[in-house]
Amino acid sequence: MLLVIDIGNTNIVLGIYDREDLLSFWRFATDQGKTEDEYGIMMHQFLTLSKIPITGVDGAIISCVVPPLLATFEKACQKYFSVRPLVIGPGIKTGMPVLYDNPKEVGADRIVNAIAGYEKWKRSLIIVDFGTATTFDCISSKGEYLGGAIAPGLMISSEALFRSASKLPRIELVKPPSIIGKNTTHSIQSGIFYGYAGLVDRIVTVMKKEMAGNLKVIATGGLAPLIAPESETIEEVDAHLTLRGLMILYHRNRLGVDL
């Protein structure tokens, strides 16, 4: 079985694959203060609670955008699962041309998403990832990574608002009962929720004009289920896109198999 680890700025997502089947997954807050022992024990507990045998894990792969945590998880995998993880970075065989001015600038998670999306749909795509930042990634019909856009994420924008406007309360990020808020909480929810739906639709619409062709627009990330239903351009949500991309890259690099 394969342990896939996606380390983001806000959350870490783990998944366990048996060949191409995702058996289980877990999401928890990113904490740079935790040690390899703490993370190793956490991963052990997740698998145990899901009744997945620890000894069945014979491979691991990591995508990380938080450099201080990379070595932590590498050590945890070696110490608690006796596997040397494959790390997404320079030298990894992706099978996808990256048409960026400097390909090294593209975040590992964005390339992983692009590969998973193209392998699943085999057509030109726009992938919207609702993470710490909201990213838009464009993939051509030939399977080329064209580039994209980066906007502040919903949580970042919300926190900036609360910090800068001391009288505004922290609120839950949910769809308000009406776009016309009748109180401060609903007014903030309205601005954030409908504002982000509009941001997504405007960026995707302009990208479609530049890319042309028969495009598919998909969304992923923790907050995708919140915004996608209100978006006029998002066609489908794939919550496990990044995990699947990691699984594909592990097979491609360690096992020499294209799925």
Does 257 score more than 70 pLDDT?
no
One domain, residues 137 and 179: yes
What is the residue-averaged pLDDT of the chain?
A: 92
Q: pLDDT at residue 241 above 70?
A: yes
- Does residue 129 sit within a domain? yes
Q: What is the pLDDT of residue 154?
A: 87
161 & 215 share domain: yes
> For position 160, what pLDDT does the model report?
83
Instruction: Indicate the residue among 45, 62, 87 that finishes a domain.
Output: 87
Domain count, the chain: 2
Residue 93 lies in a domain: no
95 assigned to some structural domain: no
Strands (E), 67-215: 86-87, 125-130, 133-139, 145-152
- Let me know if residue 151 belongs to a domain: yes
**Cβ neighbours of residue 67 closer than 8 Å, sequence gap 6 or more:** none
> Which residues are identified as catalytic?
109
Domain of 228: which CATH number? Answer: 3.30.420.40
Q: Is the pLDDT of residue 169 over 90?
A: no
Residues 64 and 167 in one domain: no
Residue 126 domain-assigned? yes
More confident call, 226 vs 156: 226
Query: How far apart are the C-alpha atoms of 171 and 190, rounded to whole Å?
Result: 11
Q: What is the mean pLDDT of residues 1-29?
A: 94
Q: Are residues 111 and 182 in the same domain?
A: yes
Q: Are 32 and 7 members of one domain?
A: yes
Whether residues 121 and 220 share a domain: the answer is yes
Per residue in 60-105, pLDDT tens? Answer: 999 999 999 999 999 999 999 999 999 998 888 888 999 999 988 8
Determine, yes or no, domain membership for 98: no
The verdict on 150 and 190 lying in the same domain is yes
Mean pLDDT, range 123-130, rounded to an integer = 96
Do both 169 and 199 map to the same domain? Answer: yes
For the chain, percent of residues with pLDDT exceeding 90: 78
Task: Give the C-alpha distances (Å, rounded to integers) separating 254 from 33, 51, 113, 249, 257.
Answer: 31, 26, 19, 8, 8
Same domain? 239 vs 118: yes
pLDDT tens-place string over residues 20-45: 999 999 999 999 999 999 999 999 99
CA distance linking residue 210 with residue 41, whole number of Å: 48
The verdict on residue 108 lying in a domain is yes
Domain that holds residue 43: 2-87
- Coil, strand or helix at 51: coil
Co-location of 184 and 109 in the same domain: yes
Q: Does residue 174 fall inside a structural domain? A: yes
**pLDDT tens-digit profile of 193-233?**
999 999 999 999 999 999 988 899 999 998 999 999 999 99
Q: Are residues 65 and 130 in the same domain?
A: no
Listed residues 87, 122, 155: the one ending a domain: 87
Model confidence at 161, pLDDT cuts 50, 70, 90, reads confident
Instruction: Return d(Cα 128, Cα 25) in angstroms, integer.
Output: 21
Residue 137 sits in the same domain as residue 231: yes
CB-hemisphere CA count at 13 Å for 217?
A: 23
Q: What is the pLDDT of residue 89?
A: 85
Domain end (from 87, 119, 144)? 87
**Cβ atoms of residues 233 and 246 within 8 Å:** no
